[in-house]
Amino acid sequence: MTRWSGGDSGPARSGIGVLLAFALAAACGGGEPQSQPAADAVADAPSAAAAASFDPCALLTAEEVEAAVGWKPATAEPYPQANGTGHCKYTGAGGMTGGMPEQLDVGIGVCLTNMPCAELPEFASSAELAAYRRKGYEGANAGLDPTIEPVEGLGVPAIRHELAGLLAVEMAIGGKRLAYVETWAPFEVARGLAEKALARAR
């Protein structure tokens, strides 16, 4: 679905990012799209001091993840970026639960996953964010069929973004940044975790 790389280090987001990478490679004949933040987007990111102390794994605790998804995280791998963005990948020891991977991703980014990185606008509503997200699936990505719907009640523009069972709640948090929770769990589980992450992402 999306890549939440801040741009200069660490692996790209897995999950929907990996799923879409294969789909896009097949559709376009190339590899995974690059995601480098625009200069203005980086300038609008938090200060260097804030970036240095940013821990993406502080957006959700392992206990919160376990209570929500039903599997215990065995690892929590942080991938902070120099501009105050980054993501945290939680992985369970069991590999699969109920036929779904034991994996969850949470983070903050300035780029849409698996799409060319462009400076994000300041979204005025969830409907505006949803329309912007859908537009990314035009052209070369038209063969993909995601579910993209506005999500209300979080206090910020937010959407449900689902592709092949992998679901993300994406939230515009200002500063031309998006916070997200990506999981194989049902939407209400993702939304509940997104509310917790959002409270710590501002």
Task: Establish if 192 belongs to a structural domain.
Answer: yes
Average pLDDT on 28-57 reads 48
Task: Establish if 50 belongs to a structural domain.
Answer: yes
Please give the tally of structural domains in the chain.
1
Q: How confident is the model at residue 1 (pLDDT cuts 50, 70, 90)?
A: low
Segments forming the whole domain that contains residue 134: 16-201
Task: Establish if 29 belongs to a structural domain.
Answer: yes
Q: How confident is the model at residue 53 (pLDDT cuts 50, 70, 90)?
A: confident
67-110, pLDDT tens digit by residue?
A: 999 999 999 999 998 778 999 999 999 888 878 899 999 999 99
Task: Establish if 11 belongs to a structural domain.
Answer: no
Task: Establish if 8 belongs to a structural domain.
Answer: no
Average pLDDT on 2-14 reads 43
Task: Establish if 124 belongs to a structural domain.
Answer: yes
Task: Establish if 154 belongs to a structural domain.
Answer: yes
134-143, pLDDT tens digit by residue?
A: 998 887 777 8
Task: Establish if 26 belongs to a structural domain.
Answer: yes
Lowest-confidence region among 45-59, 78-92, 169-183: 45-59
Strands 86-97 and 177-183: unpaired
> Could you tell me the pTM of the whole model?
0.78
Tokens of residue 166, six digits: 């992998």
Residue 124: phi and psi, rounded to 5, are: -90, -20
pLDDT at 48 over 50: no
